Amino acid sequence: MGWTTKDVPDLTGRTAVVTGANSGLGAETARALARAGATVVLACRDVAKGRTVAGELGDRAQVRALDLADLASVRAFAEGVRAEHERIDVLVNNAGVMAVPLRRTADGFEMQIGTNHFGHFALTALLLDRITDRVVTVSSAMHRIGRIDLDDIDWERRRYERWLAYGQSKLANLLFAYELHRRLTAAGSDVKSLAAHPGFSSTNLQYRSEAWYGKIMELTTPFLGQPPDQGALPSLYAATAPEAESGAFYGPDGPFEMRGHPKRVQSSARSRDPELARRLWELSEQLCGVSFPVS
């Protein structure tokens, strides 16, 4: 029998922040954390949906507005959380967009790299000195198709390809998680940086690509994909299991890592390139206007 939510340890007295907690994997992650006793901050672009989820969880759930596609919103959210919480035990960088048409964030970034990577990069930087245990960044098996173009990361000169842009953003998530691990370790910090991916899960992420195949995915994904509570297990394992290792990547243990229980998995050689990670980190600090309290 593999690891399930029954194996989540007692989290009484601990505080977690989960981005994108108004639906899908984020909502399931928040539910499991709250049921284990944690206070959970549901960081949501759709606050109304977040309140619906929080209503199931009682006083341990707090809903706060966060739009990762707007760095002003990221800063406002971080300031609010810092004012309310002396410590944050766990940050789960879960929210994301997938394969959307070309559009820009409030700060001019391509939407997928801006939301999936830059928004979470800035959020982590602004909260890191309050984090006591671990940062979990959610990537995807699709990171394998990703290529980081540091000279055109926002697709201003290249012909836009929505899936390649998604792959770039998910590769950036892994490069960030691994580089954060290296920097925390070098600084002598006990804080962990881990990554996870959900396999193929039935969530509304698949239905928002606005492509011709969106309706097909909407009809077939509930039958082919695993339910969200199963897809959330790798993130939950990374966020709570005492034995989960910093610098590791967790995903499902089934065929092709599409479904199953959490296990440590491998990522592409490109995701483990420390020089690429360093250069992406420096570019991200520059573009987001943040700096980390680890060198």
Task: Measure the CA–CA gap between 258 and 253, rounded to whole angstroms.
Answer: 8
Task: Measure the CA–CA gap between 232 and 234, rounded to whole angstroms.
Answer: 6
- Is 213 annotated as catalytic? no
Query: Which of 59, 58, 52 is closest to 26 using CA atoms?
Result: 52
Q: How far is CA 115 from CA 102, 160, 290, in A?
A: 13, 17, 16
Q: Which residues pair with 263 in a beta bridge?
A: 251
Residue 215's SS3 state is helix
Q: Which one from 166, 178, 237, 250 is the annotated catalytic residue?
A: 166
Which amino acid appears at position 61 of this protein? Answer: A
Please check whether residue 38 is in contact with residue 11, taking contact to mean a CB–CB distance below 8 angstroms.
yes
Q: Which residue matches tokens 């005492």? A: 242
Q: Which residue matches tokens 């990670």? A: 277
Stretch (H or E) spanning 131? strand 131-138
Report, as residue numbers or ranges, the catalytic residues: 166
